[in-house]
């Protein structure tokens, strides 16, 4: 099973990804937990460029995210799934669709096409999008937003709108959840949804 978590920074997705990976392991399942951008030596280098590096053009940004993702799929995610393991990822392709495709206005379809090629069409079985409003996100992230989320409130609102569009497009796969709910309650709901799915 391949499960991904999505949302604005400060949405609680990292906490939920960790809770799920721990719970699956406690059931004796073999789980590979990863994050994007990153998760491989090359991916971590690309992450630094993307989040702390110089300004770049929009398609260069989308292509770098796709490059990090290609590396992660080839070296980590696909081998794990082939070996029958579960993979839990903090972000995956839907981040690019919401951030680059919609918020940066490159086009959700166009950015999907780039990623479809880079990932050889791999999509998660289930994706949880944790929704928090742009102000809650900013409060939770505090004084140190990365290069991308430094863009401001309006941009973060566009990311949220992008995730809603993506959720509408992939109804069978993407679940929207209220990220302001208590973490343990959200975790239980996520477990329930996954049971329904399998």
User: By CB under 6 A, what part of segment 59-88 binds ligand TMP?
Assistant: 65
Q: Residue 103: count other Cβ atoms within 10 Å of its Cβ.
A: 21
User: By CB under 6 A, what part of segment 10-49 binds ligand TMP?
Assistant: 36-37
If binding is defined by CB under 6 A, does position 158 make contact with ligand TMP?
no
Minimum CB distance to ligand TMP smaller for 49 or for 51 = 51
User: Cα 118 vs. chain centroid, distance in angstroms?
Assistant: 16
When binding is defined by CB under 6 A, the residue of 34, 40, 89, 96 that contacts ligand TMP is 96
Q: Rounded to the nearest 5°, which phi and psi values hold at 46?
A: -65, -35
- Find the part of the chain contacting ligand TMP (CB under 6 A) among 18-26, 72-80, 141-149, 168-176: 141-149
Q: Find the distance separating the first CA and the last CA of the chain, reported in whole Å.
A: 9
Q: Say how far apart CA 173 and CA 197 lie, in whole Å.
A: 9
Q: Say how far apart CA 120 and CA 20 lie, in whole Å.
A: 26
Minimum CB distance to ligand TMP smaller for 69 or for 196 = 69
Residues that bind ligand TMP (CB under 6 A): 9, 36-37, 51, 65, 91, 95-96, 99-100, 146, 148-149
């Amino acid at each position: 099973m391949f499960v991904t978590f999505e949302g604005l920074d400060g949405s609680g997705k990292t906490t939920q990804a960790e809770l799920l990976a721990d719970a699956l392991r406690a059931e004796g399942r073999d789980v590979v937990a990863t994050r994007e951008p990153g998760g491989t030596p090359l991916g971590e280098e690309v992450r630094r460029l993307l989040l702390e590096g110089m300004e770049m053009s929009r398609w260069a940004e989308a292509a770098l995210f796709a490059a990090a993702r290609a590396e992660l799929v080839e070296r980590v995610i696909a081998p794990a799934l082939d070996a029958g393991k579960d993979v839990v990822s903090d972000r995956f392709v839907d981040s690019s669709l919401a951030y680059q495709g919609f918020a940066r206005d490159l086009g959700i379809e166009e950015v999907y096409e780039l990623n479809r090629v880079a990932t050889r069409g791999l999509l998660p079985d289930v994706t949880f999008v944790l929704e928090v409003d742009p102000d809650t996100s900013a409060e939770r992230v505090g004084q140190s937003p990365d290069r991308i989320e430094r863009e401001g409130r309006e941009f973060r609102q566009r990311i949220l709108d992008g995730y809603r569009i993506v959720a509408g497009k992939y109804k069978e796969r993407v679940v929207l959840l209220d990220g302001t709910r208590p973490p343990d309650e959200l975790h239980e709901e996520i477990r329930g949804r996954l049971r329904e799915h399998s």
